[in-house]
A and B are shown apart, each in its own frame.
Chain A
Amino acid sequence: MVEDGLGMPWKYVFRRLGIALVQLAAISVGVFFLMRALPADPVGHLVGFNASPEAIAHTRHFLHLDRSQWDQLAIYLGLDTSSGPGLIQGNLGSSWTTGTTIAEEVRTYLPITLELITYSFFVAVLVAVPIGLAAALKPRGPLSRVVFVYSLFAGAQPEFWWGLTFIFLFYVKLHLAPAPLGILNPLAQAPRTVTGMVTIDSLIAGNMSTFFEAASHLMLPVLTLAFVLSGPIIKMVRQNVLKTLQSDYMMYARSLGLSQFRIATYTLKNSLAPCLTLIGILYGYMLGGAVLIEQVFSLGGLGQYAVRSVLTFDFPAIQGIVLVTTTGSLLILLSSDVVHALIDPRIAR
């Protein structure tokens, strides 16, 4: 019953990966059929609602919409040898509106979203953890109360409206921030694409001016997103630290004379571990949820791409976005759970 090391919980990881694959397949196939079952007509959007019947029929045939849904699925997966490579061969298809391959479009838009979300989480965690900690150390004090109210408030905010308000404040009135026209000035030279994330790529290329340019354009969106994220993170940190500080083992540790330093390390480890799962969930949610900020600041991320695709009924694009975001979300959830399991021996054994 006694284990030697707190190593990687391989069995747990593989089991979760297996379940994740099933979930991914279920969602992808589900969305595939769902889109075709709903009363939405993509053809009309593509050729116009007043097109000739021949044009409509031709387009329907070209998009395989005249075939049965199972046939369409087979074609999409690449199981139908007569219609070229499909998902199994690694082909995500091409957009019905732009004609570019989905893979290429995803490769362009996904890194921008990841850039935005990652920086925002960084800032949010950096700010939220000390505040939540401080509030929990004096639970009946005024700071704790203020922090509690703030965490509720921040988590309840419409981030798109705050984005606009910040633009109004910092760009229109105070001239402190650049115009919300995207991650780089439209006239600026984009750095060579390595990761697709503009700030990282410009650092890799050694192009400091582009780096600062991109960073300054990211300032307000990151501020807005971090503001909204700080709400639930502060709430969770404060709750967990309080719970830990009042737990029996902390009281016992204190009664045995452990040093302040030791008590502090116990507190941090025991209270931050459960927060990891929440952060994973939030991050996964943000993969799709950052769309509002992307729209307000014209960042050109996956969320905007998703909105465009949905509004134009671009089925392959929607399919590809669903696939990519679900995969990303599942991987993030798995990673955060694994890290949590690495710290807490009671999980996944």
Chain B
Amino acid sequence: MSAIQPILEASHLNVVYPLPGGEVPAVKDFSIEIGEREFVGLVGESGSGKSTAALALMGLVRSPGKIVSGEVRFRGESVLTKSDDELRSIRGNEIGLIVQNSRAALNPLLRVGDQIANVYRAHHRVGKKDALQRAVESLGAVGIPDPKRRANAYPHQLSGGMAQRILIAMATVNEPKLLIADEPTTGLDVTVQAQFLDALQSKVRDTRSAVVFVTHDLGIVAHYCDRVAVMYRGQVIEEATVEDLFARPKHAYTQRLIASSEDRRTAFNRIARTAANE
């Protein structure tokens, strides 16, 4: 499963937030390698820096944060030294992003189909009609029923789970080689979560993409990920394959994390299997 050269390499990434009281380090000395087609989980509690790290892999950081040092190489090319303009051809095209709050991530004044079409047109020279056609196809590919009608909907007309799946369509319409998913299932019901994750899994298998999946839910990690990195207070404290991590957790924090989610994990797996069978 691991490739000869990793599709993404981050080394010694540091992100800080300058606040009135002083600089707060959100991500400390973050390093990771993502191989092609690997499904890597990034786990930690709230405030561990996992979201910040994941976004930084694309060169994105929420204002007023700053990436102060470190390197990120995507397919051998340095990401952090490029300007926003130069990165535009990569973002949405070779690296896709799925965020947590789907309703907030969608433009409230535009139809969903048009928004997906715009992402397609941003990276391909096609007309509006063709792009919309492609958007409808991508909606169908993530398992949204009646995609042509759904494409005419506005974001506020959609349920949370539907909107989240639309984000998958939007992020993958250009078939990126790397998908970064920042807590996309947090806030969804467990059954909806399972639907979303299955759609995501089948989509990334089709497009043969790697995934960096940020979550605090170890159950999801156990079920879907190949490798896991555990973060605590901005640093990666443990990194292993999923089997190794759950069987032989080395760090005390990891052990505690696993212990606290054991019950949830069994419940989740049970429900996930039931949902898959429906």
Contacts of B63 in A (CB 8 A): 246
Contacts of B88 in A (CB 8 A): 257-259
- Asked if residues A346 and B101 are in contact (CB atoms below 8 Å), the reply is no
Minimum CB–CB distance for B61 against chain A, Å: 11
- Asked if residues A255 and B97 are in contact (CB atoms below 8 Å), the reply is yes
- Flag whether B150 is at the interface (Cβ < 8 A): yes
Q: Contacts A262-B118, A345-B154 given: A249-B108 contact, CB under 8 Å?
A: yes
Interface positions of B from 43 to 82, Cβ below 8 Å from A: 58, 60, 62-63
- Flag whether B237 is at the interface (Cβ < 8 A): no
Contacts of B104 in A (CB 8 A): 247-249
- Flag whether B13 is at the interface (Cβ < 8 A): no
Rounded to whole angstroms, the CA-CA distance of A3 and B158 in the bound complex is 12
- Flag whether B107 is at the interface (Cβ < 8 A): yes
- Asked if residues A255 and B109 are in contact (CB atoms below 8 Å), the reply is no
- Asked if residues B123 and A257 are in contact (CB atoms below 8 Å), the reply is yes
- Flag whether A70 is at the interface (Cβ < 8 A): no
Interface size on A, residues (CB 8 A): 26
- Asked if residues B109 and A344 are in contact (CB atoms below 8 Å), the reply is yes
Interface size on B, residues (CB 8 A): 36
- Flag whether B105 is at the interface (Cβ < 8 A): yes
- Flag whether A273 is at the interface (Cβ < 8 A): yes
Interface positions of A from 242 to 256, Cβ below 8 Å from B: 246-249, 251-256
- Flag whether B5 is at the interface (Cβ < 8 A): no
Contacts of A273 in B (CB 8 A): 109
- Asked if residues B108 and A344 are in contact (CB atoms below 8 Å), the reply is yes
Rounded to whole angstroms, the CA-CA distance of A2 and B58 in the bound complex is 35
User: Chain B binding site: helix, strand, loop or mixed by DSSP?
Assistant: loop
- Flag whether B256 is at the interface (Cβ < 8 A): no
Contacts of A146 in B (CB 8 A): none
- Flag whether A46 is at the interface (Cβ < 8 A): no
- Flag whether A4 is at the interface (Cβ < 8 A): yes
Contacts of B153 in A (CB 8 A): 1-2
Rounded to whole angstroms, the CA-CA distance of A328 and B209 in the bound complex is 60
Minimum CB–CB distance for A188 against chain B, Å: 49
- Flag whether B90 is at the interface (Cβ < 8 A): yes
Interface positions of A from 210 to 261, Cβ below 8 Å from B: 246-249, 251-259
Contact of A256 among B149, B152, B154, B170 (CB under 8 A): B170
Minimum CB–CB distance for B277 against chain A, Å: 28
Q: Contacts A2-B157, A346-B156 given: A256-B119 contact, CB under 8 Å?
A: yes
Q: Contacts A2-B153, A246-B63, A345-B156 given: A256-B97 contact, CB under 8 Å?
A: yes
- Flag whether B171 is at the interface (Cβ < 8 A): yes
Contacts of A1 in B (CB 8 A): 153, 157
- Asked if residues B93 and A343 are in contact (CB atoms below 8 Å), the reply is no
Q: Contacts A2-B152, A246-B63 given: A256-B107 contact, CB under 8 Å?
A: no
**Inter-chain contact count A-B, CB under 8 Å?**
80
Minimum CB–CB distance for B274 against chain A, Å: 27
- Asked if residues B122 and A259 are in contact (CB atoms below 8 Å), the reply is yes
Contacts of A108 in B (CB 8 A): none
Contacts of A247 in B (CB 8 A): 104
Contact of B154 among A249, A258, A266, A346 (CB under 8 A): A346
Contacts of A256 in B (CB 8 A): 91-92, 96-97, 119, 122, 170-171
Contacts of B171 in A (CB 8 A): 256
Rounded to whole angstroms, the CA-CA distance of A246 and B62 in the bound complex is 10
- Asked if residues A255 and B58 are in contact (CB atoms below 8 Å), the reply is yes
- Asked if residues B92 and A4 are in contact (CB atoms below 8 Å), the reply is no
Rounded to whole angstroms, the CA-CA distance of A325 and B246 in the bound complex is 75
Rounded to whole angstroms, the CA-CA distance of A80 and B87 in the bound complex is 78
Q: Contacts A258-B122, A346-B154, A346-B156 given: A266-B107 contact, CB under 8 Å?
A: yes
Contacts of B89 in A (CB 8 A): 257
Interface string of A1-20 (1 = CB under 8 A from B): 11110000000000000000
Contacts of B108 in A (CB 8 A): 249, 270, 344-346
Contacts of A107 in B (CB 8 A): none
- Asked if residues B156 and A258 are in contact (CB atoms below 8 Å), the reply is no
Contacts of B156 in A (CB 8 A): 345-346
User: Nearest B residue to A253 by beta-carbon distance?
Assistant: B107
Minimum CB–CB distance for B235 against chain A, Å: 25
Rounded to whole angstroms, the CA-CA distance of A114 and B62 in the bound complex is 47
- Asked if residues B109 and A270 are in contact (CB atoms below 8 Å), the reply is yes
Interface positions of B from 164 to 193, Cβ below 8 Å from A: 170-171
Q: Contacts A248-B99, A257-B89 given: A262-B109 contact, CB under 8 Å?
A: no
Interface positions of B from 23 to 60, Cβ below 8 Å from A: 58, 60
- Flag whether A269 is at the interface (Cβ < 8 A): yes
- Asked if residues A249 and B122 are in contact (CB atoms below 8 Å), the reply is no
- Flag whether B106 is at the interface (Cβ < 8 A): yes
Contacts of B92 in A (CB 8 A): 255-258
Contact of B97 among A252, A266, A343, A346 (CB under 8 A): A252
Contacts of A257 in B (CB 8 A): 87-93, 119, 122-123
What would be 23 A-B contacts, judged by CB atoms less than 8 Å apart? A2-B152, A2-B153, A248-B104, A249-B105, A249-B107, A249-B108, A251-B60, A252-B105, A252-B106, A255-B58, A256-B97, A256-B122, A257-B87, A257-B89, A257-B93, A257-B122, A258-B88, A259-B88, A259-B122, A266-B107, A269-B109, A270-B108, A346-B108
13 new A-B contacts at CB < 8 Å, known A249-B107, A249-B108, A257-B87: A1-B157, A3-B157, A248-B99, A253-B107, A255-B58, A256-B122, A257-B88, A257-B123, A266-B107, A269-B109, A343-B109, A344-B109, A345-B154
